[in-house]
Structure 1
């Protein structure tokens, strides 16, 4: 587990990840942000149902499974955010008329769940060896009642915030691939949160590299 300093006064919680945990999926990974934990599994490319077939690219399905109970509107919203991000980076035209399935199992939610889902998804896609134009990561920011910005907030900090934002950042240009926002905030605050997320993404991408390096150094 590594604690990540963003360099802007904000500290991300301790991060941890492990790839290739499951035997059945073509790629898998677990990702931890503090006490928030998500397990991801990727299946495919595989045969696709005719009614879902796309002639020039792969069909991507994302399923978010809550820790307990049935999926709700919140899971559907997270699925859409993760799917949009993955579709922006996957070179799906290399696998036309096929199916890709990404399943995200919430193990524990202590805040910043969507960003943890995004990070678990990216690590699982890498483990599956799927072609991607670039990597991505998720960063969540909360704005508290004193207008202070908190990166990677806990569930308690989220409840006490007046605004919550999650961004998917790409590894090449640090562009925002996807954003999910809730609450009231100004344009300036939005720009500040994006800038903080871009800064934090540099550390997360370095964490990706270190994690993969550690894994393959053990194999070799």
Structure 2
């Protein structure tokens, strides 16, 4: 059994570190070896819920059978939040695990979209757009079959609107997966 832990602040031996910027939201992700917490951090209910969503999404793609009795800690630290925070956290988590060389079944990415009061759908919204929208939808999508690994909503929307948002996010995920591939290509071509 593998344990994935998510902390906002901690200190340990760093395996990999990545800075991920989407629009104006900035996320620092780090993957650590076994951890000893140095700072006391008491997350609230909202932070713990986000941690659990990220943990479940990551566990769904990691080949856990290859790492019995292993603990992996992913540290996500908010540098600046201008919207789409949970999807940015998902992307930063994946990039950190990929950078550390964890074997995974597939890639995944996080995407946020909002449905405005006029019914328009906006992908990668700002914090202001999230507050003014009728519904905020956050998807975690895997790369091979474009399956939904995570769906969380805030607000109300119809089934048809949900399906439209899913289709838009699945199409947009192709660009994120291409970004992952290009990043790996650049990393390994710098030898």
Give the alignment's TM-score, normalised by structure 1: 0.76
1:172 aligns with 2:161: no
Q: CA deviation at 1:77?
A: 1.3
Q: Show the counterpart of 1:99.
A: 71
Q: Show the counterpart of 1:12.
A: none
Q: Show the counterpart of 1:182.
A: 154
In 1, Cα distance between equivalents of 2:170 and 2:76: 24
Partner SS for 2:103: coil
In 1, Cα distance between equivalents of 2:186 and 2:13: 23
Pairs within 5 Å for 1:89-128 = 89-128=61-100
Pairs within 5 Å for 1:52-201 = 71-201=43-173
Match of 2:26 among 32, 37, 44: 37
Q: CA deviation at 1:126?
A: 0.5
Where do 5+ consecutive residues of structure 2 fail to align? 1-11, 36-40
1:28 aligns with 2:17: yes
In 1, Cα distance between equivalents of 2:63 and 2:167: 27
Q: CA deviation at 1:215?
A: 2.0
The worse-fitting range, judged by mean Cα deviation, of 26-35 and 78-87 is: 26-35
In 1, Cα distance between equivalents of 2:136 and 2:158: 12
In 2, Cα distance between equivalents of 1:27 and 1:81: 22
8 Å contact kept, 1:31–1:37? yes
Give the alignment's TM-score, normalised by structure 2: 0.87
- Name the Cα RMSD after superposition: 1.6
Aligned residue pairs total 175
Partner SS for 1:37: strand
Where do 5+ consecutive residues of structure 1 fail to align? 1-22, 48-68
1:216 aligns with 2:160: no
In 2, Cα distance between equivalents of 1:216 and 1:75: 35
Q: CA deviation at 1:70?
A: 5.2
In 1, Cα distance between equivalents of 2:42 and 2:130: 23
8 Å contact kept, 1:27–1:126? no
